Amino acid sequence: MAALRLAAYAQSPDAFEWLDPRSGHDTDPFNHAIEFMTERFRDDYILSIRELTKQYGDLKAVDDVSLDIEPGEIFALLGPNGAGKTTLISCVTGLITHFQGDVRVAGYDVSEQSHITRRLVGLVPQELKYDAFFNVRDSLRYQGGFFGVEPDDQEVDQLLEAFSLADKADQRTRWLSGGMQRRLMICKALMHDPVLLFLDEPTAGVDVELREELWEYVRRLRERGTTIVLTTHYIEEAEKLADRIGILNDGEIVRVDEQETLMREFGMQRVQVELGAPVPDDLSAELDDLDIERLDEHRLELVYRERRAHQTNERSPVDRLMQTLLDRNLEIESVEGGRTSLEEIFKQLVF
């Protein structure tokens, strides 16, 4: 399978010497892609977008976006309604063909070489789509045909098994529950074994249990070498899954970074302390460079910016607060801590 082979190649390029384009082995588009990777994998991205603009009349739905996605990552594209996420995905997946800029999948131009890029890319769209006539197994066999993939019953059964749909194989797709439909749509998008999979709001309207199950499937897909770009309004979903986060607003990229970097730059720590005695009035005065708020008679809250202890010689704010409380012989009844969520950071950056 191409995704597996690309992932394997990333780990051990020498083992793929026989795929060197100069050896002239294959002419299949997948193998072209692998040949391309063989030549240029080290310095190229699985998706590279340069100065992409898509305009509807006066509205720039996507405005001068440049973005690189690395092979094997899970990338979350976040943004409020109308930010341009679906438009951007549509430009990459070939649903929108008229745009300005340069978009390449594994080095192939999506405009000039769409016959190749469409085979390399998979899309699970937002809306559930039903097959009017087919049962689950046949809808998968049929789907592969769009990409010239011969029906392989063993592969279909493996996919159904992996997505817990094996017992529904012979059922009409319209009789599946919403959650099963979503899983079937992912299976369909995987039938041609894409190296880059777009999940456009994969868990919209999905209950908590199924959402976690779908997250597990997404992680497994990445393990087998598929690169994943997902859009979501559940910021928690991005927090749980993504290596990197891209934030889009009004068609423009506001920020692209590793989640950990965003957390360090914008994240705040909150520590709430409950004392056995009333919070002393002069505590804030003694620690006047710290952000300490009295919540009620016995409770106080310290808020401070995250930092790594080894990055500075100063004692951490929480350490100083605790030391001061202990020096004053104040009994600490309880301590609760929390960190800014990605959702709060997202709101800071977008609204």
Residues of this chain that interact with ligand ATP (CB under 6 A) are: 56, 59, 61, 79, 81-87
Our CB check for ligand ATP shows the closer of 21 and 80 to be 80
**The one-letter amino acid at 38:** T
CA distance 76 to 79: 10
Judged by CB, which is closer to ligand ATP: 29, or 84? 84
Give the nearest distance from C-beta 328 to ligand ATP in angstroms.
Answer: 51
Please, what is the minimum distance in Å from the beta carbon of residue 321 to ligand ATP?
Answer: 41
Q: Which is nearer to ligand ATP, 127 or 297 (CB)?
A: 127
- Structure tokens given for 286: 């003694």
Q: Find tokens 């559940």 and name the residue.
A: 234
Among 158, 111, 121, 102, which residue's Cα sits nearest to residue 30?
A: 121
Which of 72/79 has CB closer to ligand ATP?
79
Q: How far is the CB of 187 from ligand ATP (least distance, A)?
A: 23
Report yes or no: 271 and 335 within 8 Å, Cβ to Cβ: yes
Tell me the three state secondary structure of residue 82: coil
Q: Which is nearer to ligand ATP, 38 or 90 (CB)?
A: 90
Side-chain half-sphere of 241: how many Cα atoms within 13 Å? 34
CA distances from 112 to 103, 107, 200, 291 (A): 10, 11, 25, 57
Shortest separation between residue 150's beta carbon and ligand ATP, angstroms: 34
CB of 97 to ligand ATP, least distance (A): 13
